[in-house]
């Protein structure tokens, strides 16, 4: 099912269908960005839903899937319908948020990205800008990550006149409480942040509770493309309500790209 409203689109289906479709869209966007301005910048989300998407990105998507969803085939030679297309190696990955836990902790988003995507994709480790959330001074870690983003986009000439970075694609998850990245409803200060790109937040209601680092809403809303990816019946219903603007007070409902495209991929059986 596809619904359209302004510049946002909702795609629904079972886990396999939306995972293949979302992965193909991300890969097609990557090749289009590289052809347009020489590189592709993507912000990665944490969470269990993203794990299956990252595994599919690492595995690759068949030409048939690109044809099914009318997406441009990567490269000049699409090959056979059975050939697999994956992310190009010359891309740059960033974290959208991170739990303040050790690198090898089971709840580490960095660990999940390494295990599900980096170790199987051919993308170099140093092409991932990692949030150093394990440091004790979380505010300093947030400032350091923002500085790294600023340096990257200043070098690439992709800072917007408003002073925000222009990411090619930001991938987001959706919590059952309507949070996205590490932006929670009961933290209005974080939701109202307009100056900083990266902040440290205390999330006692999160799973697990504790300190986190997160990108802020203005950074998210200045991206060229934003893609929500989520699985589970309850989240599907919530995603649809947010898409239809029946839920307006949740953090995820505040994601409205200023001049980009917003995609929702919500799985249900």
Residue 247 in any domain: the answer is: no
Residue-level pLDDT at 3: 47
Domains: count for the chain: 1
- Token readout for 135 is 């440091």
Q: Are 135 and 18 in contact (CB under 8 A)?
A: no
Residue-level pLDDT at 157: 75
* Share above pLDDT 70 across residues of the chain, in percent, rounded to a whole number: 94
Residue 97 in any domain: the answer is: yes
Residue 2 in any domain: the answer is: no
- Higher pLDDT among residues 137 and 259, named by residue: 137
Rounded Cα distance between 216 and 239, Å, is: 20
Using the predicted structure, report yes or no on whether residue 13 has a pLDDT greater than 80: yes
Residue 171 in any domain: the answer is: yes
Give residue-wise pLDDT tens across range 15-61.
999 999 999 999 999 999 999 999 999 999 998 889 999 999 999 99
Range of weakest confidence among 42-56, 81-95, 170-184: 81-95
Residue-level pLDDT at 227: 98
Residue-level pLDDT at 162: 81
Residue-level pLDDT at 232: 84
**214 - beta bridge partners?**
97, 199
Q: Are 30 and 88 in contact (CB under 8 A)?
A: yes
Res. 97 pLDDT band, cuts 50 70 90:
very high
Residue-level pLDDT at 265: 97
Whether this model's pTM surpasses 0.85: yes
Using the predicted structure, report yes or no on whether residue 106 has a pLDDT greater than 90: yes
Q: Which domain holds residue 104?
A: 7-74+85-234+257-267
Rounded Cα distance between 43 and 162, Å, is: 20
CATH of the domain at 156: 3.40.50.1360
**Please, is 189 exposed, middle or buried when counting C-beta atoms within 10 Å of its C-beta (0-12, 13-18, 19+)?**
exposed
Res. 98 pLDDT band, cuts 50 70 90:
very high
Give residue-wise pLDDT tens across range 185-206.
999 999 999 999 999 999 998 8
Residue-level pLDDT at 124: 86
- The pair phi, psi for residue 85, each rounded to 5°, is -120, 135
Residue 14 in any domain: the answer is: yes
Residue 148 in any domain: the answer is: yes
Residue 80 in any domain: the answer is: no
- Sheet with 41-44, strands from edge to edge, namely 2-5, 8-13, 261-267, 225-230, 169-172, 41-44, 92-95, 128-129
Q: What is the DSSP letter of 176?
A: T
Residue 185 in any domain: the answer is: yes
Using the predicted structure, report yes or no on whether residue 252 has a pLDDT greater than 80: yes
Mean of pLDDT over the chain = 91
């Amino acid at each position: 099912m596809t619904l359209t409203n302004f510049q946002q689109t909702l795609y629904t289906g079972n886990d396999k269908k939306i995972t293949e479709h979302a992965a193909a869209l991300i890969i097609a966007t990557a090749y289009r960005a590289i052809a347009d301005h020489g590189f592709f910048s993507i912000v990665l989300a944490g969470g269990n839903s993203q794990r299956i998407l990252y595994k599919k990105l690492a595995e690759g998507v068949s030409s048939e899937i690109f044809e099914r969803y009318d997406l441009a085939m990567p490269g000049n030679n699409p090959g056979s319908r059975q050939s697999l297309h994956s992310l190009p190696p010359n891309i740059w990955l960033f974290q959208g948020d991170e739990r303040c836990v050790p690198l090898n902790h089971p709840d580490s988003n960095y660990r999940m990205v390494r295990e599900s995507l980096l170790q199987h994709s051919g993308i170099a480790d140093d092409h991932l800008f990692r949030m150093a959330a394990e440091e004790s001074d979380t505010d300093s870690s947030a400032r350091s990550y923002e500085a790294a983003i600023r340096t990257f986009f200043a070098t690439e000439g992709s800072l917007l006149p408003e002073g925000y970075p222009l990411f090619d694609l930001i991938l987001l998850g959706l919590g059952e409480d309507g949070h996205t990245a590490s932006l929670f409803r009961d933290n209005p200060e974080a939701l109202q942040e307009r100056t900083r790109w990266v902040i440290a937040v205390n999330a006692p209601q999160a799973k697990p509770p504790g300190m986190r680092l997160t990108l802020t809403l203005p950074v998210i809303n200045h991206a060229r493309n934003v893609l929500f990816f989520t699985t589970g019946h309850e989240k599907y219903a919530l995603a649809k309500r947010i898409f239809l603007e029946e839920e307006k007070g949740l953090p995820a409902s505040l994601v409205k790209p200023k001049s980009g495209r917003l995609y929702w991929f919500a799985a249900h059986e």
